Amino acid sequence: MSFLWNTLFYDPLYNSLVFLISIVPWHDVGFAVIILTLVVKLILFPLSKKSIISQVKMKKLEPELKKIKDNFKDKQEQAKKTMALYKENKINPFSGFFLILLQLPIILALYFVFFKGLSFDQNTLYSFIKVPENINFNFLGLIDMQGKSLFLAVLAGVTQFFQTKISMQAVPPAGPEKSFKNELMKSMNMQMRYVLPVFIAFVAYQISAAVALYWVVSNLFTIGQEIFVIKKIRQKEL
């Protein structure tokens, strides 16, 4: 398990960060983290795009989903018909969940890179990676990437709020009738909108500023990505 973790996540992330530090202006770790975040998001873009498209399609299917709910009272039959409808329209309702799972190891790996102090371990470095002559942990001369940053933590929470607000627009709203399911969906919606950003800000402050910066850039990229993809979908419909 440790071998897979190092091979798939920690070592590539560590080496990529060291490489970027060696080529960015002033060997600024903050700039390296920003570029690394953008590279990761671009790699995950095809999956992110599919997730956004699936959410938009699910919203369009809301009337048909309501018909299934009204016509089939048996929960098992409802689930079967719903999954058949998703399959027919080439929708993966779990794509967003898979995307989150993919990003968690990246965040954890980045945390451990800075937790260990970003020392240049020859056993971890690839043979073709050049060790930078010096390393600047003060992003723009203002924020210590190894320490905590209240500013970046709050910014991570704020950007998470707007990112969630945009993405939640594609989630089918609960029906007018009151039920345990609808109340649960409403509660989860509220938690995603308001509790999650606060939780993100709290966690971002507890760990290094570098991880908080990754979160901020990642959220900003996702916001732009969702606006871009949704705009393209609407243009095709005109």
Q: Which helix (H) or strand (E) holds 144?
A: strand 143-144
> Closest Cα to residue 216, out of 126, 127, 224?
224
R_g of the chain computed on alpha carbons: 21
pLDDT at 110: 78
What is the pTM for the complete model shown?
Answer: 0.78
Confidence of residue 190 (pLDDT cuts 50, 70, 90): low
pLDDT at 170: 44
Per-residue pLDDT tens digits for 53-110 = 877 777 778 788 778 878 877 778 888 888 888 888 877 776 666 777 777 787 788 7
pLDDT at 92: 73
Q: Mean pLDDT check: name the lowest of 42-51, 57-66, 120-129, 188-197.
A: 188-197
> Closest Cα to residue 233, out of 58, 100, 67?
58
pLDDT at 26: 87
Instruction: Please determine, for residue 121, whether its predicted confidence score (pLDDT) is greater than 80.
Output: no
Confidence of residue 191 (pLDDT cuts 50, 70, 90): low
Q: Mean pLDDT check: name the lowest of 130-144, 163-177, 195-209, 223-237.
A: 163-177
Instruction: Please determine, for residue 236, whether its predicted confidence score (pLDDT) is greater than 70.
Output: yes
pLDDT at 20: 92
Instruction: Please determine, for residue 152, whether its predicted confidence score (pLDDT) is greater than 90.
Output: yes
Instruction: Please determine, for residue 199, whether its predicted confidence score (pLDDT) is greater than 70.
Output: yes
Q: How far apart are CA 188 and CA 185, in angstroms?
A: 5
Mean pLDDT of the residues in the chain: 80
Q: How far apart are CA 184 and CA 182, in angstroms?
A: 5
Confidence of residue 173 (pLDDT cuts 50, 70, 90): very low
> Closest Cα to residue 219, out of 176, 169, 160, 175?
160
pLDDT, mean of residues 192-211: 85
DSSP string over 177-227: S--HHHHHHHHHHHIIIIIHHHHHHHHHHHS-HHHHHHHHHHHHHHHHHHH
Q: Are 153 and 204 in contact (CB under 8 A)?
A: yes
pLDDT at 213: 93
pLDDT, mean of residues 123-146: 86
Per-residue pLDDT tens digits for 3-37 = 788 888 888 888 998 899 999 988 999 999 999 99
Domain boundaries, the chain: 2-237
Instruction: Please determine, for residue 38, whether its predicted confidence score (pLDDT) is greater than 90.
Output: yes
24 is written with which tokens? 């960015």
